[in-house]
């Protein structure tokens, strides 16, 4: 499985995720209306967002550890990428995420959290190949660049008073375009097209970071004071931001990653 195939897999899930978001029935949770005055300072919202970022960070750590461990084991790499098991590795994240999206309202918080961690482990297996392509130093450098970009855009999405809903359709169309171009380039292997895909990916997933952060914040106000409901939606929010981070990281790695010498 090439790194490009992994990117295609991630973007396919991202489109499915947006479909799930559009059709997720929030009435299955308890809902209530908040007054505008309650939005100025809400300890519950702050706790909710801290939980989102904490679980996202844990998921990223799991991904990194699994990717490094897999890349350091030739036998494990051969078992995963040299056998039909590669299809399981490629499709498992999509299956896990779809299950979470459609069954979130009936599962426990602990199960939702464990599925997030399982998902991040599966992505770690998929991304193990990048440690064979790029140097560890450039991967670390790109990670910090990604974290800085992600952090700035997420803060903007959280704090801005501007409604970013209008960004949604444009950004998702962009993701769809990246998906189609990436699939085509698997066969064309065009360096020029790959460069264009990378530029668009950075722009689109940077915008999606702000858009998704605002959407996740809004989800908190769509459920009642039920801690269980808000915690579960927080896990789903962590999954959304996790995928924004991963896709942005992979796109930036094409610019800042130093390839290993043969």
Q: Domain residues of the chain, as ranges? A: 3-30+39-256
pLDDT of 36: 47
DSSP letter string, 127-150: GGGHHHHB-HHHHHHHHHHHHHHH
**C-alpha distances in angstroms, 16 versus 95, 118, 160, 238?**
10, 18, 27, 16
pLDDT of 178: 81
- Each residue's pLDDT tens digit, 193-209: 888 888 988 999 999 99
Q: What is the mean pLDDT of the chain?
A: 81
pLDDT of 74: 87
pLDDT at 232 over 90: no
pLDDT of 28: 52
pLDDT at 24 over 60: no
- Count of residues for the chain? 262
Distance CA 59, CA 45 (A): 21
Of 69-78, 101-110, 215-224, 252-261, the poorest mean pLDDT is in: 215-224
More confident residue, 124 or 83: 124
Please, are residues 182 and 11 in contact by the beta-carbon 8 Å criterion? yes
- Each residue's pLDDT tens digit, 97-155: 878 877 887 888 999 999 999 999 999 988 888 888 899 899 999 999 999 999 999 99
Distance CA 164, CA 57 (A): 24
Helix intervals (H) in the chain: 3-23, 43-71, 74-81, 85-103, 109-126, 130-133, 136-159, 167-188, 191-220, 227-256
pLDDT of 98: 79
Distance CA 49, CA 39 (A): 14
pLDDT of 229: 78
- 41 confidence band (pLDDT: 50, 70, 90): very low
Residues with Cβ within 8 Å of residue 58, at least 6 apart in sequence: 117, 120
Whole-number percent of the chain with pLDDT over 90: 31
- 2 confidence band (pLDDT: 50, 70, 90): very low
Residues with Cβ within 8 Å of residue 45, at least 6 apart in sequence: 39, 217, 220, 221
Distance CA 189, CA 1 (A): 15
Distance CA 224, CA 242 (A): 25
Q: pTM of the prediction?
A: 0.84
List, in sequence order, every residue forming a beta bridge with 206; answer none if it has no partner: none
Region 71-89 average pLDDT: 82
pLDDT of 146: 95
DSSP letter string, 22-37: HH--GGGS------GG
pLDDT of 170: 84
Give 28: exposed, middle or buried? Use CB within 10 Å, 0-12, 13-18, 19+: exposed
For helices 167-188 and 3-23, angle between their N-to-C axes, nearest 10 degrees? 150
More confident residue, 111 or 40: 111
Please, are residues 259 and 213 in contact by the beta-carbon 8 Å criterion? no
- Each residue's pLDDT tens digit, 174-192: 887 887 887 787 788 888 8
């Amino acid at each position: 499985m090439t790194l490009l195939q992994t990117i295609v897999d991630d973007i396919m899930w991202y489109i499915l995720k947006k479909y799930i978001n559009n059709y997720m029935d929030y009435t299955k949770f308890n809902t209530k209306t908040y007054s505008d005055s309650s939005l100025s300072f809400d300890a519950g919202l702050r706790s909710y967002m801290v939980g989102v970022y904490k679980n996202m960070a844990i998921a990223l750590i799991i991904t990194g550890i699994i990717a490094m461990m897999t890349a350091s084991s030739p036998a494990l790499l051969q078992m995963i990428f040299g056998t039909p098991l590669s299809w399981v590795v490629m499709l498992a994240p999509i299956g896990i995420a779809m299950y979470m999206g459609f069954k979130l309202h009936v599962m426990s918080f602990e199960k939702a959290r464990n599925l997030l961690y399982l998902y991040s482990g599966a992505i770690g297996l998929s991304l193990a190949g990048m440690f064979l392509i790029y140097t560890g130093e450039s991967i670390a450098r790109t990670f910090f660049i990604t974290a800085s970009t992600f952090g700035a855009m997420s803060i903007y999405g959280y704090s801005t008073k501007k409604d970013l809903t209008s960004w949604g359709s444009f950004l998702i169309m962009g993701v769809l375009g990246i998906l189609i171009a990436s699939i085509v380039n698997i066969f064309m292997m065009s360096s020029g097209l790959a460069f264009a895909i990378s530029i668009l990916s950075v722009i689109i997933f940077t915008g999606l970071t702000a858009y998704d952060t605002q959407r996740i914040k809004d989800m908190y106000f769509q459920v009642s004071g039920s801690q269980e409901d808000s915690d579960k939606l927080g896990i789903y929010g962590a999954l959304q931001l996790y995928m924004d981070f991963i896709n942005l990281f992979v796109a930036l790695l094409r610019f800042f990653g130093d390839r290993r010498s043969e």
